[in-house]
Amino acid sequence: MPEPTGKSERRPAGKALTTRRLLELFTDPADMVGSLRSQADPWLNIWGPCLLFPQAIGGLCFIGRPEGLVVVAGLVVMLLTVGYIHRHAPLSRLIEIGQAWWLLTVPWLFRQALSQDTVSVFSVWLWYVTVTMIASLVMDAYGFHLYLTTGNRTYRKDK
């Protein structure tokens, strides 16, 4: 059996999804996070956890509510998307595309946050998620702009 080269390996058309590839759906995002932590600008090591951990923890705590379910589903879709992109284009700014899901959900989350009559753990979490996702989308739009217009195509630190 040949040694893995680290490059993307495409499966022939019609070949069944292997157990290894199925597991890679979950390991690809972890590989991307590891690469970002070691090779990208340090601010991403702060921003990433501040963005994702409260979303994940709150989303799981409030999964019985539509907002929690939407946030958890969005995180799963986003992580699978960015992991796949990272596998084929390591540290590419194309991972910004993985946040596109939030373009659909942030207006609804914002409306849901506005409709909260009382301050509660849920309403604080909902506002936190909404505001951080808006900030993230602005940064993602800028990063995607850099990718398209300036040739700045990766998150690698300047050397």
Q: How far apart are CA 115 and CA 10, in angstroms?
A: 47
User: What pLDDT, on the 0 to 100 scale, is given for residue 101?
Assistant: 84
Closest residue by Cα to residue 60 from 68, 48, 52: 68
Residues of the chain with confidence (pLDDT) below 50: 1-4, 14, 159
- The Cβ of residue 58 has, within 10 Å, a number of other Cβ atoms equal to 21
Q: How far apart are CA 47 and CA 18, in angstroms?
A: 34
Which residues are within 8 A (CB) of 21 and not within 5 positions of it... i.e. 6 or more apart? 11
Q: What pTM was estimated for this model as a whole?
A: 0.74
